[in-house]
Amino acid sequence: MGDELRRIRETCTDLGGAKMAVRLGWHPSKVTNIEKGKARASEIDLVQFLTACDKDIDFFEDFRRRYQNAFEEYVVQVHDDLRTLAFAESTAKVITSYTPGGVPGLFQTPEYADALYRLGGFVAEERIPNLVRFRVERQAILRRHQPPTCLFYVHEVRHEALDVRVRVRGPCRLVVAAAG
């Protein structure tokens, strides 16, 4: 799988591994390790990598079918809705959102996301670490050389069990409206 990812990068972009890492907002060693098969790529990683190579969701689904056994061993799979969201975020130039009941996922700290999943009670506890990791991996788009411009509107978030911290990076604005 790693060899094919390297081939796709080399044939579909004019980027070396280090420049690809900058485009993705990743550490350069992450690209190298994924392409050499030394690191496990999540579906979010693969979505971001393939969209940086101008591949669409149909290409991704075909790629996933061809490497089905590799995915079972190396990739923790995500729900289709999250994969679709990651594709949309990876290709977006502008992201605008209104969130009435919490901090947007692109700004959540791992601790906040973990607490949110645990308090919600809708997810099996053993799945929480991977879900938190996916949320944090999605934030790589904000570290890109040319990240999307983001504008998020949220109501004031008050929850005594959650320490509300957000990360605002790149050309992003977070507008918090006080609850009335």
Which residue blocks in 121-180 are alpha helix, DSSP H? 128-138
Which residue blocks in 75-170 are alpha helix, DSSP H? 80-91, 110-120, 128-138
Rounded distance between C-alpha atoms, residue 134 and residue 76, angstroms: 9
Confidence label for 171 from pLDDT (cuts 50, 70 and 90): low
* Helical packing angle, 128-138 and 43-52, nearest 10°: 20
Rounded distance between C-alpha atoms, residue 169 and residue 101, angstroms: 21
Residue 8: its H or E element? helix 2-12
Question: What is the pLDDT, as a whole number, of residue 70?
Answer: 57
3-class secondary structure, 95: strand
Better-predicted residue by pLDDT, 68 or 120 = 120
pTM of the model: 0.57
Question: What is the pLDDT, as a whole number, of residue 18?
Answer: 92
Across 27-41, 126-140, 148-162, least confident range? 148-162
pLDDT digits 0-9 by tens, 44-83: 888 899 999 999 989 988 888 887 665 444 344 556 667 7
